[in-house]
């Protein structure tokens, strides 16, 4: 009966994920997967020979309750870090399973022991790494920690973790002090591996940890002889790996590069090379410029989302359209904090799909555009990615907003983007800066256009 | 117990399934899908419950408790967040077109 419910759960997960890969059926997909989870969880209460039920229910109530509360409350813009933290919890849970099994130490065969240790290592790394990713995206941890010899240091910690892992696999008793050291090393490696990675690369890293957690879950599934865990974990492991590749490709950065290059390390040097000054413009001039344009391309970024300006911007764009202006939205693959994040936010504001264009579709149109309106985007329109081989973002595909006849940049202040790189676009002759909170600026633009 | 080549077979088939399911997904769904797959590995809750259910010493019980708590967070949080994201998608799609 329990096995049957696990089988049903595994099937529901796969069907659910399948449905999630199309916008029309996506909503149903998560409900299916949720039903699978519920069935499997309830069935597990009837697993033979279980005790500690009271504590177990308390643990579920605490963990589930806290996650429910935070999940309901979190703003759409903070989604990526929430995914990171929930994912880290899964990794931690997989590591905890391994710890309990290793403490008990009665393995049916050597291969299970090996799998338990590998799963523990991966799970621990995903756990501590995800927590660092969360801290960084949440702004609790601003800087990237980079010091000379860091990679060697990481390698040493990783090697030490493996040595202790092998020690656990070969010794007679798997509990005790070696187990403690092993977990400490694995957790430390997760932290150290994530610390030097810059914020812009975080989505790729979160996706990678998502895949790793899946793998850890699958390994612990083998140890426990639990088919649902094996299948669900492996499916997530491979799907997550593919997603990670897709994201890395969108940023034109090989995954190894993301993990080992220490993004943003050379940002300071690149800044000195950008000449010229930033030129300001006020809202009324900007509104006139766009109202009498024939084509405006809007490039939204994370800044727009933070200011919750997407509704106002869309309202403004509708006014422009009434005046006969063609308005298009250009979305960079990594706009927002994750691929597709910006699409979600624009969808929330009610922007129709046929006005939203991908990088490849829209880039050829910038030279014909009268105005490129950039709202809260920064690194994804930085032309140094095309021109300056020394820049850390060199080679990343960008939106060619600088090729538009005029560029208006709506920005809160003069600071650099998330990656900490100075943006050469802001200093161009055809660029005007419109300082202010995204929502306020959008409001002003709406009023100005209405008065015309 | 699932052992040896049976285990390997399951592993391989599941891996291909995961790859195929995601392979043709449009960019706009990457974020919800990542969140969704994050929810799916919340199944670790089942394993954490089994591990905790067989814990005998205080140490095992404590770690098991942590495991179940974290796993429940993964499962519930993953669901809530994904559901919220996808719900928005559907309604806006209806309004937009």
B32-55 average pLDDT score: 91
Q: Going along A353-395, which residue ranges are E strands?
A: 356-358, 371-375
Domain of B77? 27-89
pLDDT score recorded for residue A271: 40
Residues of chain A with pLDDT under 50: 263-274
CA distance A135 to A130: 9
Q: For residue B18, is it within any domain?
A: no
B46-53 average pLDDT score: 92
Contact A339, A246 (CB under 8 A): yes
User: Is-catalytic flag, A282?
Assistant: no
CA distance B86 to B92: 10
CA distance A150 to A413: 33
pLDDT score recorded for residue A420: 63
pLDDT score recorded for residue A415: 62
CA distance A265 to A390: 11
pLDDT score recorded for residue A264: 42
Q: Does A26 touch chain B (CB under 8 A)?
A: yes
pLDDT score recorded for residue A214: 94
Q: Which residue has the higher pLDDT, B15 or A200?
A: B15
Ordered DSSP codes for B22-43:
HHT--GGGHHHHHHHHHHHGGG
Find chain A residues with C-beta within 8 A of B37's C-beta: 17, 210, 214, 235-236, 239-240, 243
Tell me the shortest Cα–Cα distance from A393 to chain B, in angstroms: 21
Split into its structural domains, chain B has a count of 1
Structure tokens at A346: 């624009």
Q: Does A93 touch chain B (CB under 8 A)?
A: yes
All domains of chain A, ordered by start, with CATH? 74-260 (no CATH), 269-451 (3.40.50.1220)
Q: For residue B11, is it within any domain?
A: no
pLDDT tier, B79 (very low <50, low <70, confident <90, very high otherwise): very high
User: What sign does the dihedral A37-A43-A45-A50 (CA atoms) show?
Assistant: negative
Structure tokens at A190: 């997760």
Q: For residue B66, is it within any domain?
A: yes
Find chain A residues with C-beta within 8 A of B83's C-beta: 27, 30-31, 34
Q: For residue B74, is it within any domain?
A: yes
Q: For residue B14, is it within any domain?
A: no
Contact A242, A208 (CB under 8 A): no
Report pLDDT digits (tens) over A434-444: 888 888 888 88
Q: For residue B57, is it within any domain?
A: yes
Find chain B residues with C-beta within 8 A of A205's C-beta: none
Q: For residue B33, is it within any domain?
A: yes
Q: For residue B15, is it within any domain?
A: no
Locate the chain B residue with the closest alpha carbon to A54: B53
Ordered DSSP codes for A287-327:
HHHHHT-SEEEEEE-HHHHHTT-HHHHHHHHHHHHHTT-EE
Locate the chain A residue with the closest alpha carbon to B24: A21
pLDDT score recorded for residue B6: 84
pLDDT score recorded for residue B42: 92
Q: Is residue B91 predicted with pLDDT exceeding 80?
A: no
Give Dmax (Cα) for chain A. 83
Ordered DSSP codes for A42-94:
HHHTT-TT---HHHHHHHHHHHHHHHHHHHHHS-GGGHHHHHHHHHHHHHHHH
């Amino acid at each position: 009966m329990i096995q049957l419910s696990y089988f049903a759960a595994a099937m529901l997960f796969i069907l659910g994920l399948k449905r999630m890969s199309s916008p029309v059926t996506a909503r149903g997909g998560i409900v299916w997967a949720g039903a699978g989870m519920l069935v499997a969880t309830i069935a597990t209460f009837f697993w033979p020979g279980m005790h500690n039920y009271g504590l177990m229910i308390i643990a579920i109530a605490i963990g589930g309750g806290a996650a429910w509360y935070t999940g309901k409350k979190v703003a759409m813009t903070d989604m990526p870090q929430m995914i990171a933290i929930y994912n880290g919890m899964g990794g931690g849970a997989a590591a905890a399973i391994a710890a309990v099994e290793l403490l008990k130490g009665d393995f049916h065969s050597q291969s299970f022991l090996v799998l338990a240790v590998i799963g523990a290592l991966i799970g621990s790394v995903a756990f501590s790494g995800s927590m660092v990713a969360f801290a960084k995206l949440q702004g609790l941890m601003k800087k990237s920690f980079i010091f000379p010899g860091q990679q060697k240091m990481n390698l040493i910690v990783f090697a030490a973790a493996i040595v202790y892992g092998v020690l656990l696999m070969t010794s007679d008793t798997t509990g005790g002090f070696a187990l403690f050291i092993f977990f400490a090393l694995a957790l430390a490696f997760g932290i150290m591996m994530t610390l030097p990675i810059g914020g812009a690369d975080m989505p790729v890293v979160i996706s990678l940890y998502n895949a790793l957690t899946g793998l850890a879950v699958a390994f612990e599934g083998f140890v426990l002889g639990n088919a649902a865990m094996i299948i669900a974990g492996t499916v997530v492991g491979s799907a997550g790996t593919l997603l990670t590749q897709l994201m890395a490709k969108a940023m034109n950065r090989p995954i190894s590069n993301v993990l080992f290059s220490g993004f943003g390390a050379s940002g300071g040097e690149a800044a000195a090379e950008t000449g010229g000054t930033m030129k300001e413009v006020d809202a009324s001039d900007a509104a006139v410029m766009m109202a009498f344009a024939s084509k405006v391309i809007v490039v939204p970024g994370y800044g727009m989302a933070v200011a919750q300006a997407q509704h106002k911007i869309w309202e403004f764009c509708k006014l422009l359209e009434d005046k006969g202006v063609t308005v298009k939205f250009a979305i960079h693959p990594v706009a927002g904090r994750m691929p597709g994040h910006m699409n979600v936010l624009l969808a929330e504001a009610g922007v129709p799909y046929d006005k939203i264009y991908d990088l490849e579709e829209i880039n050829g149109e910038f030279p014909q555009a009268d105005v490129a309106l950039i709202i809260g985007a920064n690194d994804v329109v930085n032309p140094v990615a095309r021109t300056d081989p020394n820049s850390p973002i060199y080679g990343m595909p960008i939106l060619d907003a600088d090729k538009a006849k005029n560029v208006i940049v709506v920005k809160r202040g003069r600071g650099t983007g998330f990656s900490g790189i100075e943006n050469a676009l802001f200093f161009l002759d055809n660029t005007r800066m419109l300082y202010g909170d995204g929502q306020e600026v959008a409001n002003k633009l709406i009023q100005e256009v209405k008065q015309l | 117990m699932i052992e040896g080549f049976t285990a390997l077979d399951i592993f391989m088939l599941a891996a291909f399934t995961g790859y195929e399911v995601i392979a043709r997904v449009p960019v706009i769904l990457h974020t919800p899908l990542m969140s969704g797959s994050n929810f799916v590995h919340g199944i670790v809750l089942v394993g954490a419950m089994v591990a905790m259910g067989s814990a005998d010493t205080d140490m095992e019980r404590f770690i098991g408790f942590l495991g179940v708590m974290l796993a429940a967070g993964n499962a519930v949080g993953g669901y809530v967040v994904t559901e919220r994201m996808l719900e928005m998608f559907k309604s806006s799609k209806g309004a937009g077109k």
